[in-house]
Structure 1
Amino acid sequence: MRTESDSLGQIELPKDVYFGVHTQRALNNFPISDNVTHPEIIRAFLEIKQAAAQTNATSGNLDRSIAKHIVSATKLLLKQPIDSRMFPISDIQGGAGTSTNMNVNEVIANIALEQIGRARGDYQRINPNDHINMGQSTNDTYPSAGKIALIRLLTPLFESLESLVDALGNKADTFSTTYKMGRTQLQDAVPMTLGNSFHAWLKPLRRDMLRITTARDALYMLNMGGSAIGSGINVSYHYQVHIVPNLASITNLPLTQAHDLFDATSNLDSFVALSGALKSLAVNLSKMSNDLRLISSGPRSGLHEINLPAKQAGSSIMPGKVNPVIPEVVNQVAFEMIGFDATITAAAEAGQLELNAFEPIIFKSLIAGIEHLTRAMDTLRINAVDGITINKSRLSQDIDLSASFATAMAPIIGYQEAAKIAKESLRTGKSLRQIAENKGVFSEDELAHIFKVEDIVINARTPEHGLVLHAPKAKA
């Protein structure tokens, strides 16, 4: 064991750990979650500490030899996977992220001390607060690290979203002439194509991509250099001018300096905006999953319009049963994201005065939402959408027996008369065409037009896609 002290007194911690007293107190105080602070946040923190050391050295405020060892320590840590034994603090923590900030400061200091032959915890030469944290406050480092982490985690989400949209587009093209019944309020409406359905699913996802992109772009603005509540206290002008450009160079991200460093909420509106965009994506994915489960229901007593790939046995007691497990898991991820959005909204609203203390739960929720949505879209595409096949005979049967063609009769004989024919068809079980022919109120050309589904349904992957009813030719 070794003993370290802070303003609260002394504390013992294992001799071989790289963290120090502040980290140990956090471990004692926050035994909340089994998940530690996300590795991407730690990675971003290390890059911030590297940029800070370099900037403080060039300003003349930090001894260049000390800065050299700090930079060397951060580079060493960045070359290897983030070790949770070094960074073990729960992702849910009090203190607005101060524990994570100090955890990183302590680990860097102790690695740097080893490089100069000093023992861990011997902070006379290289100190976590005085040297590693110079010119900084948790007020600016924690939200900045969180933003950098979010930006990076959004890259695979965009890739997964684009791949899913492409897969849906391919299916929309494949099924562009596969006719089916459209339904409103689960009741037969008018004919459409299965391609229309896939196109209707992908369009909102494209809009979600734009929403998420706009929200992500707001994350590039950092308040580094603001220090405590944006006051700039203990921060040199040189540091304020150069810290963000130096960090941008290290991270290879187009980071920008906030114009107003006195930003009490650390741009929390950007987190709320991102959460809202992710919730929209979740809602649209869930709606599509609902539709997939419904139109694949059966196989005997459901709609059974399509077949989802069989991925696993569906029951421990009913032989042969196969469930739509992939849409089901996507639904659950969507429900989770909706809950995350509520948490993020509450946390953003609950901040008081010059600081929001609840950023840890905001980042935890955003990061989990991003990662889970990314994986959900991948499994939806790979294990469901790509393998969808159709039951063409069932689709044709539904159209043949449908009374929906009465919609095309209405312009010729009026709504009320068309409704009577539809009701008679449903009451007698006779086809709509048979009844229409018996009525003798339509010409052969009109009947051909009314019941030719190809002429009623026009499928085009354009903003004008959908149903177009052609007006019948005027009677001579």
Structure 2
Amino acid sequence: MPYRTERDVLGKVKIDSSSYYGSETKRAIDNFPVSGITVSPDFIHYYALIKKAAAKANLKSGKLSQERASAIIKAAEEVASGKFADQFPVDVFQAGAGTSTNMNLNEVIANRAIELLGGRKGDYKKVHPNDHVNMSQSTNDTYHAAMRVAANATMRRNLIPALKALAATFQKKAAEFRNVVKIGRTHLQDAVPITLGDEMSGYYGAIEYAIEGLEQSLAQLSELPLGGTAVGTGINISKDYKANVIRELSAITRIKFKPARHMYATMQQEYAELAASNAIKTAAITLGKIANDIRLLGSGPRAGLNELILPPVQPGSSIMPGKINPSMAEMLNMVCFEVYGNACTIEQACSGGQLELNVFMPIIAFDMLYSIKILSNAVNAFNSRCARGIKANTKAINANLERNLSLATALSPYIGYAKAADIAAKAYREGKTVKEVCLAEGIMPKQELDRILNPKNLV
């Protein structure tokens, strides 16, 4: 295979001549054959946009020539478009802080810029990965910024819209089922009546709260440490670089970013990432509870609650003919479990930093973006393949409601708690309804019982 030889501080490195990456990427490939999982394409996309914004800022300050800046900007745009997706093979589990990924970007962009200027890959006199593509930057501030930009953008673009769509579905279901009175349940035991619409409105409201939590986390994710370079001091940057790079990035992404209020805290801590991860986890916990409810309410069809009819999407058993499972809710549950695990990893990584830097940014970035991706996709699938098609099984709902012993609660203001409890217990022992026991004991006239025990009057 044809190859070129590059030299770095550790010596010579042979690289496939067709590769756009250079020596540091090749060393990372050799050093970290861990999972076979590479850095998220979304992360590479937004990191490339940071390189583009940096080149524009360095051009404006006069540190970068027009020729080099134009080539770097064009190359960064191509990387952001996904054109060189196969040139980012570094494993997620790599050297701390993400230096390998930053240099992977620097090398690919440099070598593509060299080509655009008519040179050959590896001719770093034309465009150098460190001196030109990485100008005014460090892995420590740019990787940190890329995490925040990617999480901010993908939550805005994918997760929040998916949750809003699901919330809207449950809002419609709340209206559709507003007159369907059913038995309520607490402790998995029969409780006073509720409407199926009220139950669905609870799901709608819970998702709205989860969305609010995500939107609140965007404020901290919008503060970027760009210009802090290695430890927050801003060594090797021009006076106007920090403001310019933020301005350029905001224009490129169409998201309003701003410089970190507390640069050293932002470099040392992952507070914004932790807050965002917790908001994502909270959304997953909310969705997991809803999925559990849907599975319970749809259980059966003969021996379960059977109050909801869920859209059948696929056969449920390889041995039991005709069995249909709540497959979409089960899928959503499993995705939520994965998000919980990712959040735990992020918490541990956030607590693991030392002194001026948390070196565990690569796993924080990957797990956060992975959670956003799978939760967004799962919510969209669950919404389209399950939630929108939910129907009420009114026959089962009415049968359950008629046998509800907790209707005795409505009698308490008239005959007292103790007497109402006796009636409920007797109805259970004798297999009768509360109304039947009341009529047998002459508690009050039938007309009055019909009014007091009418489930529609109790909701």
TM-score (norm 1): 0.93
Measure how far apart 1:17 and its partner are. 0.4
The structural deviation recorded for 1:445 is 4.7
Amino acid paired to 2:168: D
The letter for the 2-side match of 1:99 is S
Q: Distance in 2 between matches of 1:264 and 1:389?
A: 49
CA–CA separation in structure 2 for the residues paired with 1:38 and 1:443: 70
- Report Cα offsets for 1:418-450 as digits up to 9, x if no partner: 111111111111221111012112244531222
- Whichever residue aligns with residue 331 of structure 2, its letter is V
Aligned to 1:102: 103
Of residues 342, 345, 348 in structure 2, which corresponds to 1:346?
348
1:402 partner amino acid: N
Specify whether residues 265 and 70 from structure 1 end up closer, same or farther in structure 2 by C-alpha distance, changes over 3 A only: closer
Q: What is the 5 A alignment of 1:118-133?
A: 118-133=119-134
Counterpart position of 1:468: none
- Matched residue, 1:467: none
Q: Distance in 1 between matches of 2:184 and 2:261?
A: 53
**For 2:240, what is the secondary structure of its paired residue?**
helix
Structure 1 residue 254 corresponds to structure 2 residue 256: yes
- Looking at structure 2, the residues matched to 129 and 64 of structure 1 have their Cα atoms a distance apart, in angstroms, of 18
Aligned partner of 1:372 in structure 2 is: 374
Q: Stretches of 4+ moved more than 6 A in 1? A: none
Find the counterpart in structure 2 of residue 460 from structure 1. Answer: none
Distance in 2 between residues matched to 1:353 and 1:62, nearest whole Å? 32
2:37 is paired with a residue of what secondary structure?
A: coil
Q: 1:265: how far off?
A: 3.7
Distance 1:219 1:197 in 2: 34
Q: Which of 432, 435, 455 does residue 434 from structure 2 map onto?
A: 432
Amino acid at match of 1:91: V
Task: Specify the alignment match of 1:471 in structure 2.
Answer: none
Identity among equivalent pairs (%): 39
Contact 1:289–1:328, Cα closer than 8 Å, also in 2: yes
Match of 2:4? 2
Partner Cα separation in structure 1 for residue 247 and residue 304 of structure 2: 60
- Map of 1:112 onto structure 2: 113
User: Of 187, 201, 207, which residue of structure 2 is paired with 1:185?
Assistant: 187
1:72-120 residue CA offsets vs partner (Å, 9 max, x unmatched):
3223334x42433212212232231111111111111111111222221
SS of 1:67's equivalent?
Answer: helix
1:358 aligns with 2:360: yes
Q: Give matches, 1:112-261, under 5 Å.
A: 112-154=113-155, 155-261=157-263
Q: Displacement of 1:267 after TM fit?
A: 5.1
Q: Which residue of 2 aligns with 1:271?
A: 273
Task: Identify the range of structure 1 (48-57 vs 437-446) with the bigger mean alpha-carbon deviation.
Answer: 437-446
Measure, in 1, the Cα distance between the counterparts of 2:279 and 2:388.
26
The alignment partner of 1:263 has SS state of helix
Q: 1:32-71 counterparts in 2 under 5 A? A: 32-71=34-73
SS of equivalent to 2:356: coil
Return the offset for 1:266. Answer: 5.5
State the Cα deviation string for residues 341-392 of structure 1 (Å, max 9, x = none): 1000000001111100111111111111111111111111111111111221
Number of the residue aligned with 1:382 = 384
| Cα displacement (A) at 1:65 | 2.3
8 Å contact kept, 1:264–1:355: no
Q: By how many angstroms is 1:217 displaced?
A: 2.0
Question: 1:277-314: per-residue Cα shift (whole Å, max 9, x none)?
Answer: 11111111111111111111111111111111111111
Structure-1 separation of matches of 2:56 and 2:442:
90
- Looking at structure 2, the residues matched to 259 and 433 of structure 1 have their Cα atoms a distance apart, in angstroms, of 67
Q: CA separation in 2, counterparts of 1:371 and 1:360? A: 16
Cα distance in 2 between the residues matched to 1:221 and 1:264: 9
The match for 2:14 is: 12
Cα distance, 1:54–1:431 mapped onto 2, change above 3 Å = closer
Q: Secondary structure at the match of 1:228?
A: coil
What code does the residue aligned with 2:92 have? D
3-state SS, counterpart of residue 6 of structure 2: strand
SS of residue matched to 1:229: coil
SS in 2 for 1:405: helix
Assess if the C-alpha contact under 8 Å between 2:225 and 2:266 holds in 1: no
| Counterpart Cα distance in 2 of 1:191 and 1:58 | 68
Change (3 A) 1:76 1:186: closer
The answer to whether the Cα contact below 8 Å between 2:269 and 2:357 also exists between their aligned partners in 1 is no
Stretch of structure 1 that moved more, 107-116 or 69-78: 69-78
Counterpart CA distance in 1 for 2:420 and 2:264 is 68
Give how far 1:251 is off: 2.1
- Give 2:330's aligned amino acid: E
The unaligned stretches of length 5 or more in structure 2 are none
- 1:408 matched to 2:410: yes
Contact 1:176 1:194 in 2 (8 A): yes
Query: Match for residue 85 of structure 1?
Result: 86
Q: What secondary structure, in the 3-state scheme, does the structure 1 residue paired with 2:212 have? A: helix
Are 2:307 and 1:290 aligned?
no
Unaligned runs of 5+ residues in structure 1 are 458-476
Secondary structure (helix, strand or coil) at the match of 1:299 reads coil
> 2-side partners of 1:266 and 1:167: how far apart?
42
Correspondence for 1:464: none
Cα separation, 2, equivalents of 1:109 and 1:394 = 67
Instruction: Give me the CA root mean square deviation.
Output: 1.4
Contact 1:264 1:354 in 2 (8 A): no
Shift of 1:264: 5.3
Q: CA deviation at 1:48?
A: 1.6
Alpha carbons of structure 1 residues 419 and 140: separation in structure 2 relative to 1, 3 Å: same
Count the aligned residue pairs: 456
**Aligned AA (1:7):** V
Letter in 2 for 1:407: T
Show CA shifts across 1:385-430 (max 9, x none). Answer: 1111122111111111221111011111111111111111111112
AA in 2 matched with 1:163: A
The equivalences for 1:387-402 within 5 A come to: 387-402=389-404
Q: Which shows bigger deviation, 326-335 or 54-63?
A: 54-63
Cα distance in 2, alignment partners of residues 358 and 248 from structure 1: 26
Q: Distance in 2 between matches of 1:96 and 1:347?
A: 11
Query: Which amino acid counterpart does residue 360 of structure 2 have in structure 1?
Result: F
